[in-house]
Amino acid sequence: MARPEGSGLAVGDEVDVEVTAFAHGGHGVARHEGQVLFVRHAVPGERVTARVTEIGSGARFVRADAVVVHVASPDRVKPPCPWAGPGACGGCDLQHVSLGGQRALKAGVVREQMARLAGLEVDVEVEPVPGDAGGLDWRTRVEFAVDAEGRAGLRRFRSHEVVPVDHCRIAAPGVDSLRVTERSWTGPDAVDAVAPSVGEPVAVEVPGGAVPDVVERVAATWSSADGPVSFEHDFAVSARGFWQVHPGAAATFLAAALEPLDVRPGERALDLYCGVGLFAAALSERVGPTGQVVAVEADRAAVERAERDLAAAGNVALVAARVDDAFGLPREERGRGRGRGRTRRPARSPLVPPRADVVVLDPPRTGAGAAVVRAVAAMRPRAVAYVACDPAALARDTATLLAQGYRLKSLRAFDAFPMTHHVECVAHFVPDA
């Protein structure tokens, strides 16, 4: 195979390399004759034979799989799933690493991203989340792809090809009970399997299947200046809507975010990217009848569910809008052609107040972004809780908050996605005064 200009390697080449680091995204890092390799299925400290699977943009790096391990890490284990490995299912990055080793690697990524992008040295450990069996049997929402023959399975890494697995080892028992991979599917491109915390599991064909609501119950406790706080609430969530996929994640993140905020009666709280209202519901109880919660969410279906659920509270205002639009922030809209498009300048929502006492952000993987973070800081809240599913996005937004006169008071990381490279963080910021 011809080698791309500027690269000494081509797809299919095999080279022996030393894996020296672990990168954000779940890859080991190695070099061969100056060429950077991102190697899946490897552990730092190992010597492996890496098979090149893809040439990166501009041949600046290559992707590869570790197909032979010559010197193994003490953290290497036999993957519990026979479908995890080179050329197989792309869902799990770290089944070849002990659970403790996985958490150490993830903590290293959080520290590296915070140092590189926010200029902060943080001491963080990745904490387990209650509700999985040694890193398995936890995922309560799984989307299975369906191939041309009607077989359901999971996709190969960076591919549309379907691997017809027997069952997913990280799927919750309720998902397994649906036997999605044992059935023949005619018509759908995918099947979403959901095992809610209340009620029976459901399977939804995509596209075309009826999408029911499911009930997710959250029970959490945390400490406050006034003593222990208990919260229990049922949320109606679309079977295809957003909800944390680890059974213990919602309660864990809720407690981790609200405990350091120590929300007080009569305060005004802002819940950004609120979904169906997990944080808004708890904030509503804490601020009480003399306080106010303003919750912002772009998904109108989620807002409708939150409005029904929180209507009786009397102190929650829901804003159905993108967060940047709710703040009245200009943004560029992409044009259909090669042009840059036009700049959208929405009016700030009259429901978004100029000041807030506390703010909770739970943005998507891309983060809140500098403009939203600056708008939050301009409200001068006494405390900000940021729930992040991507440590790089958190680090970038942390840098913006630091520049706006805030400091990082605490940072916790949680293993809400065992066997994968993903890690969830909850950061707490206060004014630097």
Spatial CB neighbours of 253, under 8 Å, sequence gap ≥ 6 = 244, 362, 387, 414, 416, 424, 426
Q: CA 111, 362, 415 angle in degrees (round to 5)?
A: 45
Q: Measure the CA–CA gap between 387 and 397, rounded to whole angstroms.
A: 11
Neighbours of 192 (CB within 10 A): 20
Buried b (16+ CB within 10 A) or exposed e, 332-352: eeeeeeeeeeeeeeeeebeeb
| 280 closest CA partner among 259, 303, 262 | 303
- Is 389 one of the catalytic residues? yes
Angle between helices 278-287 and 249-261 (to 10 degrees): 40
Q: Write the burial class of residue 360 (CB in 10 Å: 0-12 exposed, 13-18 middle, 19+ buried).
A: buried
> DSSP letter at 340?
-
Out of 89, 92, 168, 389, the active site residue is: 389
Spatial CB neighbours of 57, under 8 Å, sequence gap ≥ 6 = none
Angle between helices 278-287 and 300-310 (to 10 degrees): 30
**What's the alpha-carbon Rg for the chain, to the nearest Å?**
23
Q: How many residues does the chain have?
A: 433
Residues assigned a catalytic role = 389
